[in-house]
Amino acid sequence: MENVEVDFAVVGAGFAGLTAAWRLTNVDSPPRMIVLEARPDRVGGRVWTDTLDDGTWLDKGGTWFGPGQEYSYKLAEEMGACTYPTYTDGDSILVLEDGTIVRYAEDFPLDHLFPALGGLAVMEEFAAMAKKLPLDAPWEGTHAAEWDKQTFAAWVDSQLDDSSFALARMALKTIMMGVFCIDTAELSLLDALYLIRSHHGFTRLMSVKGGDQQDRIIGGAQSIANTIASKLGDRIRLGTPVRTIKHDDDSVTVIADNLTVRAKRVIVAIPPTLAGHIQYEPLLPAGRVQLLQRTPVGSVLKVVTVYDEAWWRDDDLTGQSFALADPVGATFDGCTDTGTPGVLISFVFGPNARAFGRLTKEERQQRIVDSLVKRFGSDAADVRLYEEVEWADQQWTQGGMFAHFPTGVLTNYGSLIQEPVGRIHWAGTETSSAFHGSINGAIESGERAAKEVVDAES
Protein backbone atom coordinates (compact mmCIF):
# COMPACT_ATOMS: atom_id res chain seq x y z
CA MET A 1 0.00 0.00 0.00
CA GLU A 2 1.49 3.29 -1.16
CA ASN A 3 0.99 6.35 1.03
CA VAL A 4 0.88 9.88 -0.32
CA GLU A 5 0.42 13.19 1.44
CA VAL A 6 -0.91 16.17 -0.50
CA ASP A 7 -2.84 19.38 0.06
CA PHE A 8 -5.82 18.46 -2.08
CA ALA A 9 -7.16 15.19 -3.45
CA VAL A 10 -9.60 14.98 -6.33
CA VAL A 11 -11.74 11.88 -6.87
CA GLY A 12 -12.57 11.37 -10.54
CA ALA A 13 -10.87 12.51 -13.73
CA GLY A 14 -13.94 13.52 -15.68
CA PHE A 15 -14.27 17.13 -16.81
CA ALA A 16 -15.24 18.27 -13.29
CA GLY A 17 -12.29 16.64 -11.55
CA LEU A 18 -9.77 17.52 -14.27
CA THR A 19 -10.89 21.15 -14.30
CA ALA A 20 -10.63 21.37 -10.52
CA ALA A 21 -7.17 19.83 -10.64
CA TRP A 22 -6.03 22.11 -13.43
CA ARG A 23 -7.31 25.27 -11.72
CA LEU A 24 -5.53 24.20 -8.52
CA THR A 25 -2.29 23.49 -10.37
CA ASN A 26 -2.06 26.28 -12.91
CA VAL A 27 -1.01 28.93 -10.36
CA ASP A 28 2.22 30.22 -8.89
CA SER A 29 3.36 27.84 -6.13
CA PRO A 30 0.70 25.23 -6.78
CA PRO A 31 -0.41 23.07 -3.86
CA ARG A 32 0.44 19.39 -3.77
CA MET A 33 -2.42 17.65 -5.51
CA ILE A 34 -3.47 14.22 -6.74
CA VAL A 35 -6.34 12.96 -8.91
CA LEU A 36 -7.65 9.44 -8.32
CA GLU A 37 -9.44 7.93 -11.30
CA ALA A 38 -11.13 4.53 -11.15
CA ARG A 39 -10.91 3.73 -14.86
CA PRO A 40 -7.65 1.96 -15.66
CA ASP A 41 -7.26 3.22 -19.20
CA ARG A 42 -8.51 6.74 -19.70
CA VAL A 43 -9.62 10.09 -18.32
CA GLY A 44 -12.73 12.01 -19.43
CA GLY A 45 -15.48 10.25 -17.51
CA ARG A 46 -18.73 10.55 -19.42
CA VAL A 47 -16.76 12.08 -22.31
CA TRP A 48 -15.12 9.30 -24.28
CA THR A 49 -13.57 9.53 -27.73
CA ASP A 50 -12.35 6.59 -29.81
CA THR A 51 -10.02 7.30 -32.70
CA LEU A 52 -9.90 5.05 -35.77
CA ASP A 53 -6.68 4.19 -37.63
CA ASP A 54 -7.50 6.81 -40.28
CA GLY A 55 -7.72 9.49 -37.58
CA THR A 56 -11.52 9.70 -37.49
CA TRP A 57 -12.74 10.54 -34.00
CA LEU A 58 -15.90 8.95 -32.66
CA ASP A 59 -17.45 10.62 -29.61
CA LYS A 60 -19.12 7.85 -27.65
CA GLY A 61 -20.17 10.05 -24.73
CA GLY A 62 -20.55 13.81 -24.25
CA THR A 63 -19.98 15.39 -27.63
CA TRP A 64 -21.19 18.95 -28.10
CA PHE A 65 -20.62 22.54 -27.07
CA GLY A 66 -23.21 25.26 -27.70
CA PRO A 67 -23.70 29.02 -27.46
CA GLY A 68 -23.55 30.36 -23.91
CA GLN A 69 -21.44 27.47 -22.64
CA GLU A 70 -18.61 29.80 -21.80
CA TYR A 71 -16.85 27.40 -19.45
CA SER A 72 -16.56 24.85 -22.24
CA TYR A 73 -15.25 27.21 -24.88
CA LYS A 74 -12.82 28.85 -22.48
CA LEU A 75 -11.31 25.56 -21.40
CA ALA A 76 -11.13 24.35 -25.01
CA GLU A 77 -9.23 27.47 -25.98
CA GLU A 78 -6.92 27.15 -23.00
CA MET A 79 -6.09 23.60 -24.06
CA GLY A 80 -5.53 24.61 -27.66
CA ALA A 81 -8.56 22.69 -28.88
CA CYS A 82 -10.44 23.94 -31.92
CA THR A 83 -14.14 23.59 -32.55
CA TYR A 84 -16.03 22.93 -35.76
CA PRO A 85 -19.75 23.15 -36.41
CA THR A 86 -21.99 20.10 -36.51
CA TYR A 87 -23.19 19.77 -40.12
CA THR A 88 -26.58 21.47 -40.63
CA ASP A 89 -26.98 22.04 -44.39
CA GLY A 90 -30.26 20.59 -45.53
CA ASP A 91 -33.45 19.17 -44.09
CA SER A 92 -33.88 17.07 -41.01
CA ILE A 93 -36.30 14.20 -40.54
CA LEU A 94 -39.16 13.63 -38.17
CA VAL A 95 -40.54 10.08 -37.87
CA LEU A 96 -44.13 10.14 -36.65
CA GLU A 97 -45.72 7.44 -34.53
CA ASP A 98 -47.07 5.53 -37.55
CA GLY A 99 -43.71 5.66 -39.32
CA THR A 100 -44.54 8.57 -41.59
CA ILE A 101 -41.40 10.48 -42.58
CA VAL A 102 -41.60 14.27 -42.48
CA ARG A 103 -38.77 16.47 -43.81
CA TYR A 104 -38.37 19.81 -42.09
CA ALA A 105 -36.02 22.73 -42.51
CA GLU A 106 -36.30 24.35 -39.06
CA ASP A 107 -33.89 23.95 -36.17
CA PHE A 108 -36.51 21.88 -34.39
CA PRO A 109 -39.87 20.64 -35.80
CA LEU A 110 -42.05 22.54 -33.37
CA ASP A 111 -44.85 23.21 -35.85
CA HIS A 112 -45.03 19.58 -36.86
CA LEU A 113 -45.12 18.27 -33.31
CA PHE A 114 -47.46 20.89 -31.93
CA PRO A 115 -49.78 21.66 -34.86
CA ALA A 116 -52.73 22.52 -32.61
CA LEU A 117 -52.59 25.87 -30.89
CA GLY A 118 -53.21 24.25 -27.51
CA GLY A 119 -50.05 22.20 -27.84
CA LEU A 120 -47.95 25.25 -28.61
CA ALA A 121 -49.62 27.09 -25.75
CA VAL A 122 -48.44 24.37 -23.36
CA MET A 123 -44.92 24.72 -24.68
CA GLU A 124 -45.12 28.43 -24.02
CA GLU A 125 -46.56 27.87 -20.55
CA PHE A 126 -43.72 25.45 -19.83
CA ALA A 127 -41.16 28.02 -20.96
CA ALA A 128 -42.80 30.72 -18.86
CA MET A 129 -42.79 28.49 -15.78
CA ALA A 130 -39.11 27.66 -16.29
CA LYS A 131 -38.20 31.34 -16.52
CA LYS A 132 -39.71 31.92 -13.08
CA LEU A 133 -37.23 29.61 -11.35
CA PRO A 134 -34.26 31.05 -9.47
CA LEU A 135 -31.45 29.45 -11.43
CA ASP A 136 -29.14 28.71 -8.53
CA ALA A 137 -31.85 27.52 -6.17
CA PRO A 138 -34.85 26.24 -8.13
CA TRP A 139 -36.18 24.70 -4.90
CA GLU A 140 -36.76 28.24 -3.62
CA GLY A 141 -39.05 29.21 -6.48
CA THR A 142 -42.54 30.41 -5.54
CA HIS A 143 -44.14 27.34 -7.09
CA ALA A 144 -41.32 24.89 -6.35
CA ALA A 145 -43.30 22.68 -3.96
CA GLU A 146 -46.27 22.58 -6.34
CA TRP A 147 -44.08 21.63 -9.30
CA ASP A 148 -41.88 19.18 -7.41
CA LYS A 149 -44.81 17.04 -6.27
CA GLN A 150 -45.84 16.40 -9.89
CA THR A 151 -44.22 14.25 -12.52
CA PHE A 152 -43.60 15.67 -15.95
CA ALA A 153 -45.79 12.93 -17.45
CA ALA A 154 -48.74 13.77 -15.20
CA TRP A 155 -48.39 17.49 -15.86
CA VAL A 156 -48.36 16.99 -19.64
CA ASP A 157 -51.40 14.73 -19.44
CA SER A 158 -53.28 17.20 -17.27
CA GLN A 159 -52.46 20.15 -19.55
CA LEU A 160 -53.27 18.32 -22.78
CA ASP A 161 -56.24 16.30 -21.62
CA ASP A 162 -57.96 15.92 -24.98
CA SER A 163 -57.54 13.37 -27.74
CA SER A 164 -56.81 16.17 -30.22
CA PHE A 165 -53.56 16.72 -28.32
CA ALA A 166 -52.35 13.12 -28.55
CA LEU A 167 -49.43 14.10 -30.82
CA ALA A 168 -48.35 16.99 -28.61
CA ARG A 169 -48.53 14.81 -25.49
CA MET A 170 -46.46 12.10 -27.07
CA ALA A 171 -43.96 14.61 -28.45
CA LEU A 172 -43.38 16.28 -25.09
CA LYS A 173 -42.91 13.01 -23.26
CA THR A 174 -40.68 11.56 -25.96
CA ILE A 175 -38.46 14.62 -26.04
CA MET A 176 -38.00 14.68 -22.27
CA MET A 177 -37.47 10.91 -22.21
CA GLY A 178 -34.57 11.59 -24.58
CA VAL A 179 -33.16 14.45 -22.55
CA PHE A 180 -33.27 12.58 -19.22
CA CYS A 181 -33.05 9.01 -20.63
CA ILE A 182 -35.97 7.89 -18.45
CA ASP A 183 -39.71 7.34 -18.62
CA THR A 184 -41.12 10.79 -17.81
CA ALA A 185 -43.28 9.17 -15.10
CA GLU A 186 -39.97 9.17 -13.19
CA LEU A 187 -39.30 12.85 -13.86
CA SER A 188 -40.19 15.66 -11.47
CA LEU A 189 -41.81 18.61 -13.25
CA LEU A 190 -39.52 20.88 -11.23
CA ASP A 191 -36.42 19.04 -12.39
CA ALA A 192 -37.60 19.28 -16.01
CA LEU A 193 -38.21 23.02 -15.61
CA TYR A 194 -34.84 23.48 -13.92
CA LEU A 195 -33.10 21.83 -16.85
CA ILE A 196 -34.91 24.00 -19.37
CA ARG A 197 -34.13 27.10 -17.31
CA SER A 198 -30.51 26.13 -17.03
CA HIS A 199 -30.21 25.56 -20.81
CA HIS A 200 -31.92 28.85 -21.71
CA GLY A 201 -35.07 27.33 -23.13
CA PHE A 202 -36.36 24.35 -24.92
CA THR A 203 -35.30 25.27 -28.45
CA ARG A 204 -31.70 25.97 -27.40
CA LEU A 205 -31.58 22.62 -25.60
CA MET A 206 -32.82 20.68 -28.62
CA SER A 207 -31.18 22.54 -31.52
CA VAL A 208 -27.96 22.08 -33.39
CA LYS A 209 -27.30 25.50 -34.98
CA GLY A 210 -27.65 28.09 -32.23
CA GLY A 211 -28.22 25.35 -29.67
CA ASP A 212 -26.56 22.79 -27.45
CA GLN A 213 -25.49 20.54 -30.32
CA GLN A 214 -23.85 23.31 -32.35
CA ASP A 215 -20.14 22.61 -32.05
CA ARG A 216 -17.75 19.68 -31.95
CA ILE A 217 -14.10 19.44 -30.96
CA ILE A 218 -11.37 18.67 -33.50
CA GLY A 219 -9.97 15.40 -32.30
CA GLY A 220 -13.07 14.64 -30.26
CA ALA A 221 -14.26 15.96 -26.93
CA GLN A 222 -12.00 13.70 -24.87
CA SER A 223 -8.94 15.31 -26.45
CA ILE A 224 -9.42 18.28 -24.10
CA ALA A 225 -9.38 15.93 -21.11
CA ASN A 226 -6.29 14.22 -22.49
CA THR A 227 -4.50 17.54 -22.81
CA ILE A 228 -5.27 18.47 -19.21
CA ALA A 229 -4.13 15.01 -18.13
CA SER A 230 -0.83 15.39 -19.95
CA LYS A 231 -0.26 18.73 -18.21
CA LEU A 232 -1.06 17.17 -14.83
CA GLY A 233 1.30 14.28 -15.55
CA ASP A 234 1.82 11.83 -12.72
CA ARG A 235 -0.53 13.74 -10.48
CA ILE A 236 -3.24 11.61 -12.12
CA ARG A 237 -3.46 8.01 -10.99
CA LEU A 238 -5.54 5.77 -13.26
CA GLY A 239 -6.99 2.46 -12.07
CA THR A 240 -7.37 3.81 -8.56
CA PRO A 241 -11.01 3.42 -7.44
CA VAL A 242 -11.64 5.14 -4.12
CA ARG A 243 -13.32 2.90 -1.55
CA THR A 244 -13.23 4.87 1.70
CA ILE A 245 -12.95 8.51 2.77
CA LYS A 246 -12.10 9.13 6.41
CA HIS A 247 -12.54 12.69 7.54
CA ASP A 248 -12.15 14.72 10.70
CA ASP A 249 -11.55 18.33 11.70
CA ASP A 250 -7.92 18.26 10.57
CA SER A 251 -7.68 16.23 7.38
CA VAL A 252 -9.14 13.65 5.07
CA THR A 253 -7.77 10.22 4.25
CA VAL A 254 -8.78 8.89 0.86
CA ILE A 255 -8.29 5.15 0.57
CA ALA A 256 -8.15 3.62 -2.89
CA ASP A 257 -7.02 0.19 -4.03
CA ASN A 258 -3.27 0.13 -3.27
CA LEU A 259 -3.04 3.84 -2.49
CA THR A 260 -3.85 5.91 0.58
CA VAL A 261 -3.84 9.69 0.30
CA ARG A 262 -3.84 12.09 3.22
CA ALA A 263 -5.00 15.57 2.27
CA LYS A 264 -6.33 18.77 3.76
CA ARG A 265 -9.45 18.54 1.62
CA VAL A 266 -10.96 16.30 -1.01
CA ILE A 267 -13.13 17.14 -4.01
CA VAL A 268 -15.47 14.28 -4.93
CA ALA A 269 -16.09 14.78 -8.65
CA ILE A 270 -17.93 11.64 -9.71
CA PRO A 271 -21.61 10.96 -10.47
CA PRO A 272 -23.60 11.24 -7.22
CA THR A 273 -24.76 7.64 -7.24
CA LEU A 274 -21.11 6.50 -7.34
CA ALA A 275 -20.20 9.03 -4.64
CA GLY A 276 -22.80 7.20 -2.54
CA HIS A 277 -20.93 3.92 -3.00
CA ILE A 278 -17.86 5.24 -1.20
CA GLN A 279 -17.72 4.41 2.50
CA TYR A 280 -17.41 7.57 4.61
CA GLU A 281 -16.01 7.44 8.14
CA PRO A 282 -17.70 8.97 10.02
CA LEU A 283 -20.86 8.49 7.99
CA LEU A 284 -22.06 11.55 6.09
CA PRO A 285 -24.94 13.52 7.67
CA ALA A 286 -28.34 11.93 7.09
CA GLY A 287 -29.43 14.58 4.60
CA ARG A 288 -26.36 14.04 2.41
CA VAL A 289 -26.65 10.24 2.65
CA GLN A 290 -30.24 10.48 1.55
CA LEU A 291 -29.51 12.92 -1.28
CA LEU A 292 -26.94 10.47 -2.68
CA GLN A 293 -29.62 7.74 -2.55
CA ARG A 294 -31.92 9.98 -4.62
CA THR A 295 -29.88 10.79 -7.73
CA PRO A 296 -30.53 7.91 -10.13
CA VAL A 297 -29.34 7.90 -13.71
CA GLY A 298 -31.12 6.73 -16.85
CA SER A 299 -30.28 4.34 -19.65
CA VAL A 300 -28.92 5.42 -22.99
CA LEU A 301 -27.44 3.43 -25.83
CA LYS A 302 -25.27 5.60 -28.04
CA VAL A 303 -24.43 4.06 -31.39
CA VAL A 304 -21.92 5.28 -33.94
CA THR A 305 -22.16 3.90 -37.47
CA VAL A 306 -19.36 4.66 -39.91
CA TYR A 307 -19.84 4.75 -43.70
CA ASP A 308 -17.49 5.35 -46.63
CA GLU A 309 -19.21 8.67 -47.31
CA ALA A 310 -21.71 10.96 -45.60
CA TRP A 311 -24.32 9.94 -48.20
CA TRP A 312 -27.13 11.84 -46.46
CA ARG A 313 -25.48 15.10 -47.38
CA ASP A 314 -25.95 14.25 -51.07
CA ASP A 315 -29.68 13.94 -50.41
CA ASP A 316 -29.71 17.44 -48.89
CA LEU A 317 -30.16 15.97 -45.42
CA THR A 318 -28.44 17.07 -42.21
CA GLY A 319 -28.36 13.54 -40.81
CA GLN A 320 -30.40 14.84 -37.92
CA SER A 321 -33.62 13.01 -37.16
CA PHE A 322 -36.07 12.67 -34.34
CA ALA A 323 -38.56 9.83 -33.89
CA LEU A 324 -41.70 9.58 -31.78
CA ALA A 325 -42.13 5.84 -31.48
CA ASP A 326 -39.16 4.21 -33.16
CA PRO A 327 -36.54 3.02 -30.66
CA VAL A 328 -33.88 5.07 -32.43
CA GLY A 329 -35.02 8.30 -30.81
CA ALA A 330 -32.59 10.70 -32.45
CA THR A 331 -29.70 10.80 -34.90
CA PHE A 332 -27.06 13.40 -35.70
CA ASP A 333 -24.31 13.85 -38.25
CA GLY A 334 -21.20 12.74 -36.38
CA CYS A 335 -18.51 13.36 -38.98
CA THR A 336 -15.15 14.99 -38.37
CA ASP A 337 -14.56 18.44 -39.83
CA THR A 338 -13.57 16.91 -43.17
CA GLY A 339 -16.93 15.16 -43.63
CA THR A 340 -15.23 11.88 -44.60
CA PRO A 341 -15.83 9.10 -43.67
CA GLY A 342 -19.54 9.38 -42.99
CA VAL A 343 -20.39 9.06 -39.32
CA LEU A 344 -23.92 8.90 -37.95
CA ILE A 345 -24.68 9.11 -34.24
CA SER A 346 -27.85 7.33 -33.07
CA PHE A 347 -29.45 7.33 -29.63
CA VAL A 348 -31.76 4.80 -27.99
CA PHE A 349 -33.21 6.32 -24.83
CA GLY A 350 -34.52 5.15 -21.47
CA PRO A 351 -36.98 2.23 -21.54
CA ASN A 352 -36.05 1.57 -25.18
CA ALA A 353 -32.39 1.26 -24.19
CA ARG A 354 -33.27 -1.19 -21.41
CA ALA A 355 -35.28 -3.27 -23.88
CA PHE A 356 -32.34 -3.22 -26.32
CA GLY A 357 -30.11 -4.39 -23.48
CA ARG A 358 -31.89 -7.73 -23.56
CA LEU A 359 -30.95 -8.29 -27.22
CA THR A 360 -27.61 -9.48 -28.58
CA LYS A 361 -25.28 -6.93 -30.08
CA GLU A 362 -26.06 -8.35 -33.54
CA GLU A 363 -29.79 -7.97 -32.94
CA ARG A 364 -29.31 -4.41 -31.75
CA GLN A 365 -27.24 -3.53 -34.81
CA GLN A 366 -29.90 -5.04 -37.08
CA ARG A 367 -32.70 -3.12 -35.38
CA ILE A 368 -30.81 0.14 -35.52
CA VAL A 369 -29.76 -0.22 -39.14
CA ASP A 370 -33.36 -1.12 -40.05
CA SER A 371 -34.54 2.08 -38.41
CA LEU A 372 -31.90 4.14 -40.20
CA VAL A 373 -32.81 2.60 -43.57
CA LYS A 374 -36.51 3.40 -43.05
CA ARG A 375 -35.56 6.95 -42.20
CA PHE A 376 -32.72 7.70 -44.61
CA GLY A 377 -32.87 5.05 -47.33
CA SER A 378 -30.85 1.99 -48.24
CA ASP A 379 -27.44 3.73 -48.06
CA ALA A 380 -27.79 3.49 -44.29
CA ALA A 381 -27.32 -0.27 -44.53
CA ASP A 382 -23.75 -0.09 -45.88
CA VAL A 383 -22.21 0.14 -42.42
CA ARG A 384 -18.42 -0.09 -42.38
CA LEU A 385 -18.14 0.00 -38.59
CA TYR A 386 -20.69 -0.29 -35.78
CA GLU A 387 -19.78 0.91 -32.28
CA GLU A 388 -22.11 1.11 -29.30
CA VAL A 389 -22.02 2.11 -25.66
CA GLU A 390 -24.77 1.47 -23.11
CA TRP A 391 -23.77 3.90 -20.39
CA ALA A 392 -25.65 1.96 -17.72
CA ASP A 393 -23.24 -0.92 -18.39
CA GLN A 394 -20.16 1.21 -17.74
CA GLN A 395 -18.93 0.28 -14.27
CA TRP A 396 -17.60 3.73 -13.40
CA THR A 397 -20.63 5.63 -14.68
CA GLN A 398 -23.62 3.28 -14.24
CA GLY A 399 -26.07 5.28 -16.30
CA GLY A 400 -26.52 8.14 -18.70
CA MET A 401 -26.48 10.93 -19.39
CA PHE A 402 -26.80 12.66 -16.02
CA ALA A 403 -28.69 12.11 -12.78
CA HIS A 404 -32.23 13.29 -12.32
CA PHE A 405 -33.92 14.31 -9.08
CA PRO A 406 -37.14 12.33 -8.50
CA THR A 407 -40.24 14.17 -7.24
CA GLY A 408 -39.79 15.92 -3.90
CA VAL A 409 -36.01 15.64 -3.96
CA LEU A 410 -35.03 19.14 -5.13
CA THR A 411 -37.38 20.75 -2.59
CA ASN A 412 -36.30 18.49 0.28
CA TYR A 413 -32.59 18.09 -0.43
CA GLY A 414 -31.66 20.62 -3.13
CA SER A 415 -29.97 23.05 -0.75
CA LEU A 416 -27.46 20.30 0.13
CA ILE A 417 -26.27 19.66 -3.44
CA GLN A 418 -23.19 21.89 -3.25
CA GLU A 419 -22.82 22.06 0.54
CA PRO A 420 -19.44 20.69 1.69
CA VAL A 421 -19.40 18.14 4.51
CA GLY A 422 -16.49 19.32 6.61
CA ARG A 423 -13.43 18.83 4.39
CA ILE A 424 -15.31 16.97 1.66
CA HIS A 425 -16.37 19.08 -1.34
CA TRP A 426 -18.65 18.08 -4.21
CA ALA A 427 -18.30 18.64 -7.94
CA GLY A 428 -19.80 17.14 -11.09
CA THR A 429 -22.32 18.43 -13.61
CA GLU A 430 -25.16 17.44 -11.26
CA THR A 431 -23.99 20.16 -8.86
CA SER A 432 -24.01 22.90 -11.50
CA SER A 433 -26.71 25.20 -12.80
CA ALA A 434 -24.54 26.38 -15.72
CA PHE A 435 -26.17 24.18 -18.38
CA HIS A 436 -26.98 21.53 -15.76
CA GLY A 437 -26.08 18.04 -16.98
CA SER A 438 -23.71 19.22 -19.73
CA ILE A 439 -19.92 19.21 -20.12
CA ASN A 440 -20.10 22.94 -19.41
CA GLY A 441 -21.77 22.21 -16.08
CA ALA A 442 -19.04 19.74 -15.17
CA ILE A 443 -16.33 22.31 -15.94
CA GLU A 444 -18.11 25.06 -13.99
CA SER A 445 -18.48 22.74 -11.00
CA GLY A 446 -14.77 21.92 -11.07
CA GLU A 447 -13.86 25.60 -11.06
CA ARG A 448 -16.26 26.28 -8.20
CA ALA A 449 -14.96 23.37 -6.12
CA ALA A 450 -11.32 24.34 -6.71
CA LYS A 451 -12.11 27.84 -5.49
CA GLU A 452 -13.90 26.41 -2.46
CA VAL A 453 -10.96 24.36 -1.25
CA VAL A 454 -8.45 27.15 -1.86
CA ASP A 455 -10.63 29.71 -0.08
CA ALA A 456 -11.19 27.35 2.82
CA GLU A 457 -7.44 26.90 3.35
CA SER A 458 -6.38 30.53 2.83
Q: Out of 119, 298, 342, 437, name the contact with a second copy by CB under 8 A.
A: 298
Helix (H) or strand (E) holding 59: strand 57-59
- Say whether residue 351 binds a second copy (CB under 8 A): yes
Q: What angle do CA 398, 438, 104 make, to 5 degrees?
A: 105
- Say whether residue 438 binds a second copy (CB under 8 A): no
Q: Which stretch binds a second copy (CB under 8 A): 26-34, 113-121, 184-192, 417-425?
A: 184-192
Q: Which is nearer to a second copy, 87 or 194 (CB)?
A: 194
Return d(Cα 449, Cα 315) in angstroms, integer: 48
- Say whether residue 341 binds a second copy (CB under 8 A): no
> Which residues are CB-contacts of 101 (< 8 A; sequence separation ≥ 6)?
93, 94, 95, 374, 375
CB of 332 to a second copy, least distance (A): 23
Burial of 68 (0-12, 13-18, 19+ CB in 10 A): middle
Which value, to the nearest 10 degrees, does the dihedral of the CA atoms of residues 148, 150, 155, 161 take? Answer: -160
Q: Out of 83, 203, 260, 412, name the contact with a second copy by CB under 8 A.
A: 412
Q: Out of 102, 170, 238, 289, name the contact with a second copy by CB under 8 A.
A: 289
Q: Out of 80, 161, 283, 458, name the contact with a second copy by CB under 8 A.
A: 283
Give the distance, in angstroms, between the CA of residue 316 and the centroid of all CA atoms in the same chain: 30
- Say whether residue 430 binds a second copy (CB under 8 A): no
Give 170-233 as a DSSP string. Answer: HHHHHHHHHHHTS-GGGSBHHHHHHHHHHTTSHHHHH-STTSTTSEEETT-THHHHHHHHHHHG
Between helices 439-457 and 70-78, what is the axis angle to 10°?
80
Q: Which is nearer to a second copy, 119 or 400 (CB)?
A: 400
- Say whether residue 411 binds a second copy (CB under 8 A): yes
Could you tell me which of 34, 36, 33 has the C-alpha nearest to residue 14?
Answer: 36
Q: Out of 3, 163, 395, 458, name the contact with a second copy by CB under 8 A.
A: 395
Give 352-384 as a DSSP string. Answer: HHHHHTTS-HHHHHHHHHHHHHHHH-GGGG--S
- Say whether residue 299 binds a second copy (CB under 8 A): yes
CB of 326 to a second copy, least distance (A): 20
Q: Out of 1, 117, 128, 286, name the contact with a second copy by CB under 8 A.
A: 286
- Say whether residue 221 binds a second copy (CB under 8 A): no
CB of 20 to a second copy, least distance (A): 25
Q: What angle do CA 139, 128, 85 make, to 5 degrees?
A: 95
Q: Which stretch binds a second copy (CB under 8 A): 93-101, 111-119, 211-219, 386-394?
A: 386-394
- Say whether residue 243 binds a second copy (CB under 8 A): yes
Q: Out of 134, 285, 377, 422, name the contact with a second copy by CB under 8 A.
A: 285
Query: Which long-range contacts link 151-154 to residues 24+ away (Cβ below 8 Å)?
Result: 151/184, 151/185, 151/186, 151/187, 151/188, 151/189, 151/407, 152/176, 152/184, 152/187, 152/188, 152/189, 152/191, 152/192, 153/183, 153/184, 153/185, 153/187, 154/185, 154/189
- Say whether residue 142 binds a second copy (CB under 8 A): no
State how beta strands 424-426 and 342-349 pair: unpaired
- Say whether residue 148 binds a second copy (CB under 8 A): yes
Q: Which is nearer to a second copy, 56 or 352 (CB)?
A: 352
Q: Which is nearer to a second copy, 49 or 407 (CB)?
A: 407
CB of 188 to a second copy, least distance (A): 8
- Say whether residue 353 binds a second copy (CB under 8 A): yes
- Say whether residue 1 binds a second copy (CB under 8 A): no
Return d(Cα 399, Cα 38) in angstroms, integer: 16
- Say whether residue 143 binds a second copy (CB under 8 A): no
Q: Which stretch binds a second copy (CB under 8 A): 200-208, 220-228, 332-340, 407-415?
A: 407-415
- Say whether residue 185 binds a second copy (CB under 8 A): yes
Binding footprint of a second copy on the chain (CB under 8 A) = 145, 148-151, 153-154, 157, 182-187, 243, 273, 276-277, 279, 283, 285-287, 289-290, 293-299, 351, 353-354, 357, 390, 392-393, 395, 398-399, 406-409, 411-412
